[in-house]
Structure 1
Amino acid sequence: MASAANWSSPSTRPPLIETLVSGVDRYNPSNVSILEDYLYHQIRSEEYDCLANLAILKLYQFNPDLYNPDVVINILIKALTSSPFPDFSLCISLLDERPASAASQDEPDPLPTLLPILTALHSLLQQCRFPTFWTLYRSTEVEALRDNYTVECVGFEDAVREVAVRAVKAAFSSIGSERLGTYLDLSGADLSAYVEKLGWIVSNSGVVSIPANPDNQIESTVVQENIQLSQLTKVIAHAAQTSQPAAVPVVN
């Protein structure tokens, strides 16, 4: 998982983008095209820069005339696979409410239609409901998102699988290959090749062994407290005082 430092300043970020994101030019509307081009570079190269993408959404907030729904959808798609990090929620918080009937002069705005779908997919990833995620993602309901957007996002499905792999590594020391396949939307030779690439071992019975890590190992912890005799005496004396019944006033 990425460190906070790499999240805020990824090593793949070009110097020009670093200057824009870190300086006052971050809110200069004339630079929005540079940031949008950088987003499409991320789409094509499997790179990801959340802060640069958030800067685009902030510029759209300040300058509604710059709004490009395709750019927003692609930003949300990239943020979708950052789970369990809160990138998707950060992006959503910068979106203005737009009615489903909102349209430009040329064509309708696709965001109001696709936003509930993207939100549902994000929720399923956050809840680690990976088989349900893949079922929804493959459904006809999500066809427009697949055919027009995620198909252009290089490595999108593998990025989703990486989210599942992180969850599996944290929760399992071993898992059935069939069950793992439902998490990864893979089967047969594709699943075997993917598991081999991860360096995980599959037994003859189809059980996948997950390498030990701090999250999937249960270790007993012994807590030992050293109490001095003087401290114990104070505790006993205090308990004796509080246990004495309160004096009842005598009424003549």
Structure 2
Amino acid sequence: MTSESITASWVTPSTRPELIESLVSGVDRYNPSNVSILEDYLYHQIRSQEYDCLANLAILKLYQFNPDLYNPDVVINILIKSLTSSPFPDFNLCISLLDDRPQTAHLDEPDPLPQLLPILTNLHSLLHQCRFPAFWALYQSDDLQSLRDNYTVEVVGFEDSVREVAVRAVQSAFTRITSARVSSYLNLPDGSELEDYISKFGWTLDSASSVISIPPNVDNKIESTVVQENIKLPQLAKIIEHTAVTV
């Protein structure tokens, strides 16, 4: 997939309904009466494994302009969806709209966002740095039980979306990699389950050496580059003259 097609799918996902397109692309994106439509669309994304960053950013912008609309659960779900867009900057774009925290006096319960925001930021950093084993260790820790039970359990395919981040990183950096290492990146047991999973991407496992081969692509191809510089005689004379003076 080219950078142009990636950008186009980010700006206008193929799964975006016409109604949402009209809201996101027009002046109605700032109409507070449409926030419930955008929130419903977010929960559709959560249930269907779809993703529309611009529509979700529109919700956060409406919360900025209309603090009384603020719903912390919606914000948390937006951040969780944007986690798995790494290495793209969606998570940071969402965070940038949370700088001015809205007043939460209208909430019936304590706002969970201040407690969860550092955790989500840490998870994002681990994914962005390709520290996948550390991500899984933190995500599956007892400290994040509440996040799993109350939020990510509702996000269909969340763990598979995290694995797709790891797959993109491996495909970009390796032509050969051990199955044990890939197993730790994907949080899948090294064996038939892992082999079935990687076969979807055209990767092959040599059972004798436990090495996975990854087909060449534009990112992992190793190509030698010859750099040739041409220095004309007058330029060389100036260099020699300058060297002689300084010495």
TM-score by length of 2: 0.91
Aligned to 2:163: 161
- Indicate the larger mover: 80-89 or 139-148: 139-148
Cα separation, partners in 2 of 1:120 and 1:237, compared to 1, 3 Å = closer
Superposed CA RMSD in Å reads 2.1
Q: How does 1:149-228 map to 2 (within 5 A)?
A: 149-187=151-189, 188-204=191-207, 205-225=209-229
Equivalent residues of 2:68, 2:106 under 8 A apart = no
Deviation track 1:196-233 (CA, whole Å, cap 9, x = no partner) reads: 22221100221111111122222111234556xxx42x
Distance, in Å, in 2 between the alignment partners of 1:245 and 1:221 is 36
Amino acid aligned to 1:223: V
Q: How does 1:91-106 map to 2 (within 5 A)?
A: 91-98=94-101, 104-106=106-108
Equivalent residues of 2:203, 2:212 under 8 A apart = yes
Distance, in Å, in 2 between the alignment partners of 1:32 and 1:13 is 16
Structure 1 unaligned spans of 5+: 247-252
The correspondence for 2:31, drawn from 22, 28, 31, is: 28
The correspondence for 1:52, drawn from 51, 55, 71, is: 55
Distance, in Å, in 2 between the alignment partners of 1:38 and 1:97 is 24
TM-score by length of 1: 0.89
Aligned residue-pair number: 241
- Indicate the larger mover: 152-161 or 193-202: 193-202
Distance, in Å, in 1 between the alignment partners of 2:240 and 2:229 is 23
Distance, in Å, in 1 between the alignment partners of 2:6 and 2:145 is 34
Distance, in Å, in 2 between the alignment partners of 1:48 and 1:113 is 25
Amino acid aligned to 2:193: D
Equivalent residues of 1:61, 1:96 under 8 A apart = no
Distance, in Å, in 1 between the alignment partners of 2:21 and 2:43 is 17
Structure 2 unaligned spans of 5+: none
Aligned to 2:114: 112
Deviation track 1:157-180 (CA, whole Å, cap 9, x = no partner) reads: 000000000111111111111111
Provide the secondary structure at the position in 1 that maps to 2:177.
strand
Provide the secondary structure at the position in 2 that maps to 1:107.
coil
Cα separation, partners in 2 of 1:134 and 1:30, compared to 1, 3 Å = same
Equivalent residues of 2:203, 2:213 under 8 A apart = yes
Aligned-pair identity in percent equals 72
Distance, in Å, in 2 between the alignment partners of 1:203 and 1:240 is 57
Which structure has the larger Rg? 1
After TM superposition, give the deviation of residue 106 of structure 1 in Å. 2.1
Aligned to 1:235: 235
Equivalent residues of 1:57, 1:91 under 8 A apart = yes
- Indicate the larger mover: 147-156 or 1-10: 1-10
- Indicate the larger mover: 150-159 or 191-200: 191-200
Aligned to 1:145: 147
Provide the secondary structure at the position in 1 that maps to 2:130.
coil
